[in-house]
Structure 1
Amino acid sequence: MLTMLEKVFVTVISGEFLTGISGNGFIGLTNCIAWARNRKLCLVDFILTSLAFIRISLLCLTIANLFSVLSYQEISETMEGNLIYSSFWILASHLSTWLATCLAVFYFLKVANFSSPFFVWLKWRINKVVFTLLLVSLPFLLLSLPLPYHFGIYWNHFPPEHEGNMTGLFNVSRSKNLDQLIMFMIGSLLSFSVSLISFFLLLLSLWRHTKQVELNIRKSRDASTEAHSRAMKTVFFFLVLFAVQRFAHFMTFVGYFLPQNKLVLMLSYMIGILYPSGHSYVVIFGNSQMRKALLRIPWHLKRGLRRKVLSAT
């Protein structure tokens, strides 16, 4: 039986999960419909679509492991099964992080305006820059995937009667877990740094653009300023949510050293799931087409309900 506090955690996490599935599903469905209608998919839409489906997978993997924590069972009774789960989680988390970083770089190159020849060169090769960024991330993925990634050991709660039998395994793997956590964080730190640099360069570009038009008050909120503002908000909230998720991962690692870590793990899940769930809505409201499509949903529902009422009468 779950305690009252555990029930609260489960309720909040379930709400975050459903919210994340809805948001990412909306992004994926909207872009797929546009792809089928226009017979083409631009780079930013490809990144958003890939990011949406990967985050849906990440949410499903996370919620599946939550059930294992609640039922005092591992994802699999074998180390091979646990390794498979961990590998899929690493892959989904890695792609989610780096695709979001590519999105930040894309917004920076698309919106920012600098006279530097190097920036102009990058701006004209934006597709190649994004593709190269994904290639740069591959070594970090390859270094992580072959590892057993013993996060699975402390991501799963063992019943009290089995904790004594696992003490030897815990003592042997603690130092290796720390090394693997550091390896995982290095790749995350690089992607976070790239996004942070993109954010500050966008801020600098906006400041320079504002200085150029400040003499004309009516043009102080022109299209370029609005584009800068939307791009900066998207990148900023990504940085905040990304930092929150990495803090949740650190909490998970700390929980591994605690004898009764179930509540700590559930709290880390509740905090960590904010990133794949919340960032989808940051993307939606930062994209004018998606925002309009989302706001049209109540109108379509009302119209459909009215048709049913008229047909019934």
Structure 2
Amino acid sequence: MLLGNTVLEENVIVLVVFFYLLCLVLIVENGYILIMLASEWARCGMLPPCDKILTCLSASRFFLQLVVGGKNLYVLFYPMVFPYNTVHQYFSFQWDFLNSVTIWSSALLSVFYCVKITTFTYPVFLWLKWRISGYMTWLLLGSLGISFVIAFLFFIGNYHLYSVYSGKSLLFQNYTGENLKRNLERYYFFPLKVITYSIPASIFFLCMVLLITSLERHRKKILHSNSGLWDFRTQAHTRALKTLLTFSILFASYFFALIVNASNILPSEKSWYWGWQVLIYLCTAIHSTFLILNNPRLRDGLFVRSFQL
């Protein structure tokens, strides 16, 4: 280690430790959600549509953190290894699949809340209010299928790039391989990630805008009414609006971090890599905490278990 890089190396160690603490927090949080909802499912034989989405979301985040932890541990111990080798392909396929499931589950959660809570009287909203609960299982299965296709498309690019590097001469690897790597990252991987991230993110933000608009309109209507319960209802709607805004900001931060990470515009220093990893999963950890605190069953179960301990 060079003397000039001592501070940088110390920063990297701090970021790595903080990153794995975040991984541990996310595994515990989403493991708790998964256990609570799975036990409820096993006891009652069914789950409400909202809890089905939360089960899918927590399961994807739980296994995603295991994959992320393993992949970054591999990067930490083997920093000079070729980034498209078979081990990286193994981790990347799982990461692409689970990350896509996470984003689509978040989008479906926003769709469900938007349809069930909004007070719009358009025929399409009224039709969805009656139908979406029955369609939720199929929507979740569809998101799993879409996520598998997305992960397979990334795997094709990774495998093709690795086959070029491993099956040709050294001169071909140094010249054509580098050009192929640069072109695939610029014209295949990045556009594919932007498209696959942007579609569910657009659905999420559209539903959040509609939901916030509906709640704000309803809050103003209550304020101008003569009901004696206007203060209580206004406070409830205000809390709901703050929660939705928080969810939107956290999801936007996660989405933005993924896009920047996919663009390869970040410097190649280790501190930037680990710092960006911390930012991505810090947003996820805060969002998982909000999911627990805003779900009565999960919140009450957490307090009961804490009291028993």
Range class of TM-score, shorter chain: 0.7 to 0.9
Instruction: Report whether the alignment pairs 1:246 with 2:246.
Output: no
Mapped partners of 1:120, 1:290: distance in 2? 30
Moved more, 203-212 or 142-151: 142-151
CA gap of 1:111–1:41, structure 2 versus 1, over 3 A, is: same
Q: 2:53 aligns with which of 33, 47, 54?
A: 47
Q: How does 1:188-199 map to 2 (within 5 A)?
A: 188-199=197-208
Moved more, 66-75 or 273-282: 66-75
Instruction: Report whether the alignment pairs 1:204 with 2:213.
Output: yes
Instruction: Report whether the alignment pairs 1:146 with 2:153.
Output: yes
CA gap of 1:275–1:209, structure 2 versus 1, over 3 A, is: same
Residue 41 of structure 2 is matched in structure 1 by 35
Mapped partners of 2:147, 2:289: distance in 1? 28
Moved more, 212-221 or 274-283: 212-221
Mapped partners of 1:263, 1:205: distance in 2? 43
CA gap of 1:77–1:243, structure 2 versus 1, over 3 A, is: closer
Mapped partners of 1:271, 1:69: distance in 2? 18
Mapped partners of 2:91, 2:174: distance in 1? 20
Determine if contact 1:44/1:106 at 8 Å carries over to the other structure.
yes
Mapped partners of 2:175, 2:73: distance in 1? 23
Mapped partners of 2:231, 2:303: distance in 1? 23
Q: Which string of whole-angstrom CA distances, capped at 9 and with x for unpartnered residues, describes residues 173-203 of structure 1?
A: 1121122122112121111111111111112
Mapped partners of 1:284, 1:251: distance in 2? 28
Q: What residue identity is the alignment partner of 2:201?
A: F
Residue 277 of structure 2 is matched in structure 1 by 269
Mapped partners of 2:50, 2:131: distance in 1? 14
Residue 228 of structure 2 is matched in structure 1 by 218
Mapped partners of 1:272, 1:49: distance in 2? 21
Q: SS of 1:113's equivalent? A: coil
Residue 288 of structure 1 is matched in structure 2 by 296
Q: Which string of whole-angstrom CA distances, capped at 9 and with x for unpartnered residues, describes residues 256-302 of structure 1?
A: 775x432221112111112432221111112122122222233111x
Residue 170 of structure 2 is matched in structure 1 by none
The percent identity for this pair of structures is 24
Aligned length: 287
Q: Which string of whole-angstrom CA distances, capped at 9 and with x for unpartnered residues, describes residues 213-233 of structure 1?
A: 222363225569737843x55
Determine if contact 1:241/1:274 at 8 Å carries over to the other structure.
no
Residue 161 of structure 1 is matched in structure 2 by none
Q: SS of 2:78's equivalent? A: coil
Q: What residue identity is the alignment partner of 2:214?
A: S
**How big is the shift at 1:150?**
4.6
CA gap of 1:206–1:90, structure 2 versus 1, over 3 A, is: same
Determine if contact 1:24/1:52 at 8 Å carries over to the other structure.
yes
Mapped partners of 2:81, 2:281: distance in 1? 19
Mapped partners of 1:22, 1:221: distance in 2? 38
Q: What residue identity is the alignment partner of 1:249?
A: L
**How big is the shift at 1:84?**
2.3
**How big is the shift at 1:95?**
0.3
Moved more, 138-147 or 221-230: 221-230
Q: Which string of whole-angstrom CA distances, capped at 9 and with x for unpartnered residues, describes residues 136-184 of structure 1?
A: 7855752452333559x9xxxxxxxxxxx87864432112112212211
Mapped partners of 1:77, 1:150: distance in 2? 9
CA gap of 1:75–1:125, structure 2 versus 1, over 3 A, is: farther
Determine if contact 1:68/1:74 at 8 Å carries over to the other structure.
no
Mapped partners of 2:248, 2:178: distance in 1? 33
Length-normalised TM-score, structure 1: 0.79
Determine if contact 1:108/1:199 at 8 Å carries over to the other structure.
yes
Mapped partners of 2:149, 2:31: distance in 1? 28
Query: Gaps spanning 5+ residues in structure 2: where?
Result: 162-172
Mapped partners of 1:236, 1:95: distance in 2? 22
Residue 278 of structure 1 is matched in structure 2 by 286
Q: What residue identity is the alignment partner of 1:100?
A: S
Mapped partners of 1:168, 1:71: distance in 2? 28
Mapped partners of 1:197, 1:217: distance in 2? 32
Q: Which string of whole-angstrom CA distances, capped at 9 and with x for unpartnered residues, describes residues 33-52 of structure 1?
A: 22233232121111111211
